[in-house]
Amino acid sequence: MMDLVRTTKRRLMWFFAVLTMLFLLLFVVAAYLTVSQSVMKEKEDELMAMLSDKSLSRLIHEAEEPHEKPFNHNLFAIVGTSGNILEKQGDGIEAMIDGWTPNILETKEVDQDNREYLLAGKPVRGGGYVYSGVDVTEQKRVLNRLFMVLLILTILFTFAATLLSFIMAGKAIRPIIKSAERQRDFVNDASHELRTPLSILSAGFEILEEEKDRLSDFSRQTVDDLSGEVRRMSSLVNDLLVLARADSGKLVLEKKVLNLTNLVSRSVRSFSRIVEVDGISLTTDLKEEVYLKGDEDRLQQLLYLLLDNAHKYNVQDGHVHVSLKETGSEVILTVEDGGIGIAQEHQDKIFERFFRVDLSRSRTHGSNGIGLSIAAFIVEAHNGKVLLESKVGQGSCFTVVLPGLSNEY
């Protein structure tokens, strides 16, 4: 539960941060483009106005005679019909316009000697071209500086936004955490409260079982049904309690070095009586003596959960096989059944809380979708992992891999 809350908080934080960054970037690009376009447009318009001067075309034909320079601009040039420069102003203008035959009022930017120029040109009626240009180095420098400042601001604001998102996500998630904690405490308290009456009921049914012979057939059947229900409820309440304790971090494992082979054979022995009633065979492969460091009660619970499932989801006259071995630094426990199997699409969900493949089995099989989430918790708390291989109609194999004594990872 807390993992889910933490993941949601992290997702919310990144969502806020990425969204803010995107908005900032969009703003920076839009601001830069608007400013740079309006600065350059102003320069372009200036050049265009000059080149549109009607008297210019005459100049080409009068260029041999002395006259005043037509522009106040840094650069200009008049090229005659034969391609010769008739009039010019500004160093390097020849190189800038060399080979450039502009269409009407075309512009281009030129880099020359570490300076940047904006040129405009147009053909003149009767032949030849006129060119005009301005030095825009300063404007470009200011625009570059503006871009750098905006970029640095974006980075700074992104950091600030990430921090703010972290705080905001924390605030947004707080009511959910509170409600989850209240729910967990409620489950914890309710399970505790229910344990006592359930134990009294179980004890009562045990006494009635001893007196079974004196009961009528109907009463005997009722006692059997009711004691079955009480057993089911007790196991559910215990499971809920384990989950609530695990969530609140109150479930402390008491790890010690233990003989897992003994534990498995003991559990299998007591379980075989239950499965045999349904004609299911239970075989083992426990040749090796395997030791590990773990919590005996929890490991026994893990085995019961897997065996219980192998029984519940088996078929008439099916089989269950349990094996235990040590390979290198790992202890490998498998519980395999020839039961109904689990479809591929459900395999990664079955360890989630309250997930059940077939909801209609919940009443008949005492299925509540908690068992495997507890199993996964126990395995994780022992720094191990559970693997599943299953095929519908063929059965399932749960493999628990735990660190051996030589490898306490």
Cβ-based neighbours of 50, under 8 Å, separated by 6 or more: 70, 71, 73, 120, 132
Q: Is 368 in the site for ligand ADP (CB under 6 A)?
A: yes
* Residue 400 near residue 334 (C-beta atoms within 8 A): yes
Measured from the CB atom, the residue of 220 and 312 that comes closer to ligand ADP is 312
User: Cβ of residue 278: shortest distance to ligand ADP, in angstroms?
Assistant: 14
CB of residue 10 to ligand ADP, shortest distance in Å: 27
* CA dist., res. 158 & res. 166, Å (int): 12
- Measured from the CB atom, is 203 or 392 closer to ligand ADP? 392
Among 71, 271, 313, 377, binds ligand ADP (CB under 6 A): 313
Rounded distance between C-alpha atoms, residue 236 and residue 378, angstroms:
17
Question: Which single residue brings its beta carbon nearest to ligand ADP?
Answer: 371
Q: Of the ranges 104-112, 163-171, 293-301, 371-379, which one interacts with ligand ADP (CB under 6 A)?
A: 371-379
Assess 370 for contact with ligand ADP (CB under 6 A): yes
DSSP string, 259-314: EHHHHHHHHHHHHHHHHHTTT-EEEEE--S--EEEE-HHHHHHHHHHHHHHHHHT-
What does the block give as tokens for 61?
């034909």
How near is the Cβ of 360 to ligand ADP at its closest, in Å?
11
Residue 23: partners with Cβ closer than 8 Å, 6 or more residues away:
none
45-47-50-54 Cα dihedral, nearest 10 degrees: -80
280 binds ligand ADP (CB under 6 A): no
Among the residue ranges 157-165, 188-196, 256-264, 353-361, the one whose residues contact ligand ADP (CB under 6 A): 353-361
Stretch that binds ligand ADP, among 46-54, 82-90, 107-115, 306-314 (CB under 6 A): 306-314
Total residues binding ligand ADP (CB under 6 A): 22
Q: Show Cβ contacts of residue 262 under 8 Å, excluding neighbours closer than 6 positions.
A: none
Is residue 338 within 8 A of residue 313, CB to CB? The reply is no
Kindly state the smallest distance separating residue 358's Cβ from ligand ADP, in Å: 6
Q: Cα separations (Å) of 98 from 83, 172, 179, 213, 283?
A: 10, 65, 77, 118, 94
Q: Does 342 bind ligand ADP (CB under 6 A)?
A: yes
Helices (H) and strands (E) in the chain, counts: 9, 12
Among 337, 378, 379, 402, binds ligand ADP (CB under 6 A): 337
118 Cβ partners below 8 Å, 6+ apart?
40, 43, 44, 47, 107, 108, 109, 133, 134, 136
Return the residue of 112, 355, 380, 405 that touches ligand ADP, per CB under 6 A.
355
Q: Which of 371, 379, 386, 402 touches ligand ADP (CB under 6 A)?
A: 371
Q: Does 339 bind ligand ADP (CB under 6 A)?
A: yes
Between 93 and 324, name the residue whose CB sits nearer to ligand ADP. Answer: 324
- The reply on whether position 358 binds ligand ADP by CB under 6 A is yes
CB-CB contact of 215 with 221 (8 Å): no
**Residue matched to tokens 């499965």:** 275
403 belongs to the binding site for ligand ADP (CB under 6 A) = no
To the nearest 10°, report the CA torsion of 76, 81, 86, 89: 10
Footprint of ligand ADP on 372-391 (CB under 6 A): 372-373
Cα separation values, 37 from 21, 49, 211, 230, 393, Å:
24, 18, 98, 80, 70
Q: Which residue number, 96 or 333, has a Cβ lying nearer to ligand ADP?
A: 333
**Is residue 271 near ligand ADP by the rule CB under 6 A?**
no
**Smallest distance, Å, CB 374 to ligand ADP?**
8
Q: Is 357 in the site for ligand ADP (CB under 6 A)?
A: yes
The reply to whether 310 sits near ligand ADP by the rule CB under 6 A is yes
CB of 222 to ligand ADP, least distance (A): 25
CB of 359 to ligand ADP, least distance (A): 8
Per rule CB under 6 A, is residue 333 in the interface with ligand ADP? no
Q: Does 367 bind ligand ADP (CB under 6 A)?
A: yes
Closest CA to 322 of 268, 394, 388: 268
Positions that interact with ligand ADP (CB under 6 A) = 309-310, 312-313, 337, 339-342, 350, 355-358, 367-373, 396
